[in-house]
Structures are given as C-alpha cells and as structure tokens.
Amino acid sequence: MIFSLEALQAGAGDCLLLHFGPAKTPRFLLIDGGPAGIYAGSLKPRLQSLPKQAGGQPRLELALVSHIDDDHIHGVLDLLNGLVTARDRSEPGLCEIRELWHNSFDGLWSRVAGAHTASVPNLLASLEGGTFPASDGDAPLRSRLVLASVAQGGKVRAAAVALGIPVNDGFAGGLVAAEKAGAPADFDGLKLTVLGPRQGELDDLRALWAKEQAQLALKSAKEKMACLADFANRTAENLSSIVLLAEFQQARMLLGRLRRRSHPPESRAARNNEGGRHLRRGSDEGAASCQQP
C-alpha cells in the first residue's frame, strides 16, 4: 500500500498529487493546479501518464482548490475548461473527476442579505469576461490579480457544474467548513478531516462583508473594484482556505494553506527526521506535511 505526496513543478504556486491505495492500482487526489502555464507544461502531461481506469481515463477521486489565488487555482480552471471543450466536441476527456472541493468567493458573499448585494454580481460579471473598467487601467497589480482570482473561482465552480461534478458535496450550506464536515470523508480507506476554515470564521467573514457592502453604494466602478479586491486580499483568501488532515492506514498528512505571515521562513524547507517524514514545499503560502508513526 502507498500513501505519498507528489509535488509537480508549479513555479511560485502549488500543484500536488496525493497517491494512496494498492501500489499496482493507486488512487489519486489533486490539490491545487499552480499558476498560468503549469497545466500545459506540468499537470496535463502528468495526468496523461496516470493509470487508466475501466472507462479508459485516469481518475481523480477529488480535486481540491485550497483557496482563491491564481498560483493555486489557474491550473485547475485550465483542466476543467479542457474537459468542457472535450465534452462539447464529443471527445474523451483527459481524466474523470469525481468530486470538487472549493470555497469560491461568490459562495461566501452570496448568502449575505443586504441592499447592495446586487452591485457585487455586476462587478464579478465584468471579471468573468476578463474585463475591467477603462478607468481601472492604473489599478495596482495586486488588486487586479486578486480580482482575477475571484472571477476564476466562479468559473471553476461553473465548469464543474456544467460537467456534472459534485461541488462541496455533503457540506451544509455548500461551503467546506470544519463544523459542517461531520464524520471524515472516506475515499476507499483514505479519510479526510476538514480542519479549516471553521464555521465561526466564515460567519465573521460574512458579517464583515455585510458591513462593507454599505460603503459600495456611492462609489465609482473603479472604487468598487478596489474595495472588492482589498476585501478579498485581506480576508477571503485567508479565512476561506481549506485545511485537511488526510489519514491512510497508520499514516497522516496535513494538507492546506498556511495563513499569511503566520510562519517563519525555515518552515518552507524540506526536512526529514527519525520520528517521521515531513514535507514543506511550494510558495510562501502553501504547505503540506506527512507524518508516519
């Protein structure tokens, strides 16, 4: 039996494959897909090399997008778009994806009641088309990247729905959260326990967003974009980040995104010791660890 984490080349982002099960017939989970270019150069070739199942395709038991940030979500969006294109052309897709877990930003704010909620879908609609207000050409690069990631999250969810892939299946309210997870999810012996985000964090995030909505009403399109980017940058991509404990037989693995500015530089170095095997890789904000007693 195997239980291992494979780090694909992902530049400044993260793209991980979790292997588990019998060595001759392993199962796979995808955790994030890296930034632009990683799907074509790294993820797609690796998926093509995976063992094929009875239907003639490799299979991912679960695809996880840990949080909305381009260096984690872009490759997953490219993968899903490729599957949609193959379906529309009546061609076999690259792989089968049985489930998707992802807390999109629109999933967070859509449940907030407020008089100004309608202004946000209009902003996101412009982002879905890849456009920004003409006056926003001088917007800070970070704000534009955050806004692009917000739109990507909506596109990931939409593509999964179009493909019939269950999104956050089994989680009350449609968001992956620790208190809504109940018993660990079981994938043929692999148990996944959601450690974060906690429901209280999501509730606080919604409450904060409800307050900030009132400030959007009299703002220009450029100012609204800046407010949305600032909110997502300061809160959503941190508080909605999914953290999992994966367990298979006697081994455990911690998967998820470290909170921004919450860890020392040395935590990014790979290290091994007699007590267990630890892995830290990827960008400053991504982390995974594996321990085997």
Q: What is the band of 154 on the pLDDT scale with cuts at 50, 70, 90?
A: confident
Read off the tokens for 58. Answer: 């490799």
Looking at residue 213, its pLDDT comes to 67
Q: What is the CATH number of the domain that holds 102?
A: 3.60.15
Per-residue pLDDT at 272 exceeds 80: no
> Does 287 or 97 have the greater pLDDT score?
97
205 contacts 235 by C-beta, under 8 angstroms: yes
> Does 228 or 121 have the greater pLDDT score?
228
Domain that holds residue 25: 2-291
Torsion of CA 179, 180, 181, 183, to 10 degrees: 80
> Does 251 or 149 have the greater pLDDT score?
251
> How far is it, in rounded angstroms, from Cα 276 to Cα 293?
6
Q: What is the mean pLDDT of residues 94-111?
A: 82
Look over the chain and give the mean of its residue pLDDT values, rounded to a whole number: 76
* Backbone angles phi and psi of 2, in degrees to 5: -125, 155
> Does 158 or 108 have the greater pLDDT score?
158
Q: Which range scores top for mean pLDDT: 39-53, 62-76, 222-236? A: 39-53
> How far is it, in rounded angstroms, from Cα 69 to Cα 145?
8
Per-residue pLDDT at 271 exceeds 50: no
CA angle 259, 264, 266 (to 5 degrees): 125
The 8-class DSSP code of residue 28 comes to E
Number of domains comprising the chain: 1
The rounded percent of the chain whose pLDDT value lies above 70 is 65
Percent helix, strand and coil across the chain, each to the nearest 5:
40, 20, 40
Q: What is the mean pLDDT of residues 77-91?
A: 97
Q: Which range scores top for mean pLDDT: 3-12, 147-156, 206-215, 252-261? A: 3-12
Cα–Cα nearest to 63, from 144, 148, 215, 176: 176
Q: Which of 161-165, 196-200, 258-262 has the lowest mean pLDDT?
A: 258-262
Q: Rg for the chain (alpha carbons), in Å?
A: 19
Cα–Cα nearest to 278, from 252, 257, 258: 252
The 8-class DSSP code of residue 51 comes to P
Looking at residue 12, its pLDDT comes to 86
Q: What is the band of 104 on the pLDDT scale with cuts at 50, 70, 90?
A: confident
pLDDT digits (tens, 9 = 90+) for 220-259: 777 777 777 777 666 655 556 899 999 999 999 999 765 5
Q: Which single residue is written with the structure tokens 């076999």?
A: 92
CA angle 67, 139, 203 (to 5 degrees): 35
Per-residue pLDDT at 132 exceeds 50: no
> How far is it, in rounded angstroms, from Cα 16 to Cα 119?
36
Per-residue pLDDT at 20 exceeds 70: yes
> How far is it, in rounded angstroms, from Cα 127 to Cα 130?
5
> How far is it, in rounded angstroms, from Cα 228 to Cα 195?
27
Residues contacting residue 125 through CB under 8 Å, at least 6 positions apart: none
pTM above threshold 0.85? no
> Does 285 or 259 have the greater pLDDT score?
259
pLDDT digits (tens, 9 = 90+) for 166-204: 999 988 778 888 875 567 899 999 999 999 888 777 777
Looking at residue 114, its pLDDT comes to 43
The rounded percent of the chain whose pLDDT value lies above 90 is 43
